[in-house]
């Protein structure tokens, strides 16, 4: 049961039929692994902590730089030079002291990623490079942990989630084959800060639905946001029978199989 203080803090969420006191109590006992403490990770972590997720594990090996502050809204100017995980943990602790924060100030190899994913109820991929996304995808698939992946570049943002607790869910490699590696990063091509925040917020929203095990969580749906025109497109992902990760045909080329759905 919730304490009176917790009931007051989370009252607006508890009023929702889909949440209620039971759903809020459930969130307080859930754990999220968040990989990447840049713009996506900042936005997602702030909303997850504010919503009452009991434990957040923050993984990143970078330091706060002045150029981060235009979009990574969990950091403050005096924190320039600090480890991102430590700086973000400070902000989250001030926002919600009840949320247990564990910083992991290192780049995750597969063994550490496997261990941390196995301890999490949901994993958020907030990284900024293609190789890391594929590594996270493979580990989450192997561990059977739901994965929510976000990215942003320029005025464009993308979001997709996978429920690896269910069979035939497809995976990130079905959508973006490992052979088709992309090299664009926001440090090279630029990015509009609120676009990153929009996608990070939606990662948190999808994570909360997954953590509460709500009905009809929109997994396996690819959402693309055009921040220049404030428009959305949405597709349904179907598993690639030749996927190198989630198919039994391990030696075939993966290809994306998406079926266009109505735009929003």
Token digits of residue 27: 């969130």
Annotated catalytic residue: which of 99, 126, 171, 186?
186
Neighbours of 248 (CB within 10 A): 7
Count other C-beta atoms under 10 Å from residue 61's C-beta.
Answer: 13
Q: How are beta strands 231-237 and 221-226 bridged, if at all?
A: antiparallel
User: Is 186 annotated as catalytic?
Assistant: yes
Please say whether the beta carbons of 192 and 199 come within 8 A: no
Instruction: Write out the two tokens for 98.
Output: 């009840």
3-state secondary structure (DSSP) of residue 25: helix
Q: Rounded to an integer, what distance in angstroms lies between the CA atom of residue 175 and that of residue 158?
A: 12
Report the phi/psi class of residue 57: left, alpha or beta, with left for phi > 0 and alpha for psi in -120 to 50.
Answer: beta
Classify residue 122 as exposed, middle or buried by CB count within 10 Å of its CB (0-12, 13-18, 19+): buried
Whole-number Cα distances in Å, 135 to 108, 156, 171, 194, 202: 10, 23, 12, 27, 22
Cβ atoms of 174 and 243 closer than 8 Å: yes
Under DSSP, the state recorded for 191 is B
At residue 149, φ and ψ (nearest 5 deg) are -110, 135
Rounded to whole angstroms, how far apart are CA atoms 50 and 106? 25
Q: Give the residue numbers annotated as catalytic, written as ranges.
A: 186
């Amino acid at each position: 049961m919730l304490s009176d203080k917790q009931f007051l803090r989370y009252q607006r969420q508890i009023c929702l039929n889909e949440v209620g006191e039971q759903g809020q109590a459930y969130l307080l006992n859930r754990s999220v692994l968040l990989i990447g403490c840049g713009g996506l990770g900042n936005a997602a972590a702030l909303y997850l902590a504010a919503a009452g997720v009991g434990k957040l594990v923050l993984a990143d090996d970078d330091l706060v730089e002045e150029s981060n502050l235009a979009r990574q809204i969990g950091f403050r100017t005096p924190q320039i030079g600090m480890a991102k995980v430590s700086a973000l943990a400070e902000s989250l602790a001030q926002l919600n002291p009840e949320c247990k924060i564990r910083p992991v100030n290192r780049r995750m190899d597969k063994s550490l990623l496997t261990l941390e994913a196995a301890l999490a109820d949901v994993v958020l991929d907030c990284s900024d490079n293609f190789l890391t996304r594929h590594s996270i995808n493979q580990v989450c698939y192997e561990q059977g942990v739901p994965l929510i992946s976000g990215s942003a570049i320029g005025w464009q943002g993308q979001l997709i989630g996978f429920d690896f607790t269910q069979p035939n869910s497809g995976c990130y490699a079905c959508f973006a084959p490992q052979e088709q590696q992309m090299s664009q990063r926001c440090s090279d091509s630029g990015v509009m800060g609120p676009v990153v925040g929009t996608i990070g917020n939606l990662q948190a929203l999808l994570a909360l639905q997954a953590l509460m095990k709500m009905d009809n969580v929109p997994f396996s749906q690819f959402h693309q946001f055009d921040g220049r025109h404030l428009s959305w497109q949405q597709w349904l992902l179907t598993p690639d029978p030749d996927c190198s990760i989630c198919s039994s045909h391990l030696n075939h080329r993966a290809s994306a199989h998406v079926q266009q759905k109505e735009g929003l």
